[in-house]
Structure 1
């Protein structure tokens, strides 16, 4: 890996499951040294989530592989005084401490913001929670599925026939994780501007998700209208955009502007379509006459945004993805395999050239604590 912009930054990572580890994984891909602190017994379920039986049994589940490249794993029991002392010794030498326990847990354990700040005056201490540090929901457990339901996301996902449905991936986890990345990068810049000041950051999964729905919220605030279960209705509210069945496969079309709608109608051989009494019905009938692949090609040539709906496997196999800077080989030497995994979701001259292996459970406990002793002696 080339030296990234976070080379020399040390992150002490107390997070587990998806959102927090995704965020610290992004920092690792930008060059940070991320020390993942795991609890005895290895109870982070993502180590055994997804992939083959051999992967799960070895603690290298698909979910774990996707966001822990290049990290170090240290096992500490923070309920034990000796391990709490080791943690605080590590925190003293870390630029960032991140945790995602329920509010108050790290304070009760003696490893919260005040304890860390007492050891390092310019500490950056970030907490990722479901609902924030305060409020009537703050003490509740938070999972992606629950946040999709409580945030309003499920209420606008699905169709009247299906009722509310969750988005197919744990989107709240990743939205919140990206918000945490944003907060931490901002804190590092703030430290450079105003050195010596401790910073406490709090990221709420509920806030992160609802912030993405600002247009809908303002629409409701100003008109009292609320977007509901609209199925594949387009954001632009035009009948020329949406999801359509074809002779083979499904197609998604976005002809939002009048110019795009005109080009769509011309490509379909129906320039009169805007005057039709049933635009949606006419479009449905026309699209059933050819395959989705045919329509994708025809409409793309006509400069109308359109694509056949693909599975993830089909998307990753598409020639467009062949040179993607995001997807790289990830070696798993413990199992003798290599998988294709995501790196940074953008291209940059300082991005990782390759993905480093993910850590086995507790793999770096001895080496990290030995280095800690040496640093303390120096």
Structure 2
């Protein structure tokens, strides 16, 4: 039996971070009911068709975060739709939402509203900027609240004279989903011990600051920051990125230069660098980093990435290939650790949630549902009669 078998989750959220937390629960066997407005459904369904996104015949973003869920198309602006939701919540264990705080109040689906009918409910709330303070009601996405506001967008620019670096879709949402999942599971543990449900929350801003924690803490300690220099003048040649003959990039990460620099020069077939006074010690290498970068640029441009991977691996050196999205499907290590798993009834792989529990098998990922595909079945299970369902469908309450 799956770890969360019997756990009922209502995903009443949109886009990525909130729904992705429900996806993780579903990966471990929870029943997830996705609540969506009739008509277009969760706006996330249309994200992959936005300008600038990769083109595919598959709705790849929805395929990822909508897997293993059942879709109920329900108009929560109607009294009947809200009544249906309240009945479903009575038997739910977890309710996830990222609706604006004011909207929750107007719809009667705030924590205080739902917990009255189900005091064991775990109410999981996601916001952009938190639930208190002047910006509590402010809307935001991971690009704004996680990436830009946290300082990450500024700090990863190529150099101080370059524009801030744009994020990629879901880059802050998926880590935030893990935090929301952690809050939910922690609350479930407390419920097991006390019988009480409760309200848990996280925000994109809090997770952005946590992700940028090292530099955020430096700033909080009054540290002096230095503008990032151009690549050719980086302060450490042994923790830097280089381009190979076939146009690929990789990054070295040598944090123990005293021990590892001799291994590196062997891999490079450049023993002369050991006796060059500019590079003979860690301090000298840092003082002459620009000169060493120029040497490394010339050397690494003489061989293809595959050759350098073999050489650096043979000498036990830490480095990372700068992968492109097209590389991911061919990443054998990612398959070995089940970070990439087969999508049932298809020829595709999909990205699994990022942790495993020994002895617990995840639910095989199945395709995300069409909008409202399970509306009738869910309502029948909730005790509604077919004539009621038909009337609601006619009135547009369900889709």
Q: Normalising by structure 2, what TM-score? A: 0.83
Which of 364, 375, 381 pairs up with 1:365? 375
Instruction: Trace 1:51-66 onto structure 2 (pairs within 5 A).
Output: 61-66=59-64
Q: Which runs of 4+ in 1 moved over 6 A?
A: none
Residue 366 of structure 1: how far off its partner (Å) = 1.0
Q: Which residue number corresponds to residue 353 of structure 2?
A: 344
Q: Distance in 1 between matches of 2:231 and 2:43?
A: 34
CA spacing shift, 1:230–1:33, aligned 2, 3 Å: farther
Residue matched to 1:6: 4
Q: CA deviation at 1:144?
A: 1.9
5+ residue gaps, structure 1, are: none
TM-score between both structures, scaled by the size of structure 1: 0.88
Of 14, 22, 32, the residue aligned with 1:34 is: 32
Give the secondary structure class of the aligned counterpart of 1:25.
helix
**Residue aligning to 1:285:** 298
Alpha-carbon offset, residue 293 of structure 1: 1.9
- Quickly say closer, same or farther: Cα 1:353–1:126, change in 2 above 3 A: closer
Using the TM superposition, name which of 89-98 and 258-267 deviates more. Answer: 258-267
Find the aligned partners of 2:143 and 2:150 in 1 and give their Cα distance: 10
Shift of 1:285: 2.0
Q: Report if aligned partners of 1:326, 1:347 keep a CA contact under 8 Å in 2.
A: no
Are the aligned partners of 1:48 and 1:60 in contact in 2 as well (CA < 8 Å)?
Answer: no
Indicate the SS of the match to 2:260. Answer: helix
Match of 1:171, SS state, is coil
2:225 paired residue number: 226
Please state if 1:67 is matched with 2:77.
no
- The change in CA–CA distance for 1:22 and 1:338 in structure 2 (over 3 A counts) is same
Q: Which among 314, 323, 327 is matched to residue 327 of structure 2? A: 314
Give distance in 1, aligned partners of 2:275 and 2:168: 38
Distance 1:353 1:6, change over 3 A: closer
Would the alpha carbon gap of residues 7 and 231 (structure 1) be closer, same or farther in structure 2, given more than 3 Å must change?
Answer: farther
Instruction: Specify the alignment match of 2:393 in structure 1.
Output: none
Residues 314 and 169 from structure 1, CA distance in 2 versus in 1: closer, same or farther, beyond 3 angstroms?
Answer: same
> In structure 1, how many angstroms separate the alpha carbons of the residues matched to 2:103 and 2:317?
53
Alpha-carbon distance between aligned partners in 2 of 1:74 and 1:111, rounded to the nearest angstrom: 17
| 1:207-230 CA distance string (max 9 Å, x none) | 011012221122223342236546
Shift of 1:232: 6.8
Give the match's secondary structure for 2:336: coil
Match of 1:186 in 2: 186
Could you tell me which residue of structure 2 aligns to residue 151 of structure 1? 150
Corresponding position: 1:356 with 2:366: yes
Does structure 1 residue 243 correspond to structure 2 residue 241? Answer: yes
Question: Secondary structure of the equivalent of 1:66?
Answer: helix
Kept after mapping to 1: 8 A contact 2:12/2:98: yes
SS of structure 2 residue aligned to 1:8: coil
Q: Which runs of 5+ in 2 are unaligned?
A: 386-399
Partner SS state of residue 187, structure 1: helix
- The correspondence for 1:131, drawn from 119, 129, 132, is 129
Kept in 2, the 8 Å contact 1:92–1:120? The answer is yes
1:324 positional shift:
4.1
Conserved 8 A contact 1:155-1:229: no
Change (3 A) 1:163 1:87: same
Superposed CA RMSD: 2.7
8 Å contact 1:247–1:292 — kept in the other structure?
Answer: yes
CA distance in 2, matches of 1:100, 1:214: 24
Other-structure match for 1:200: 199
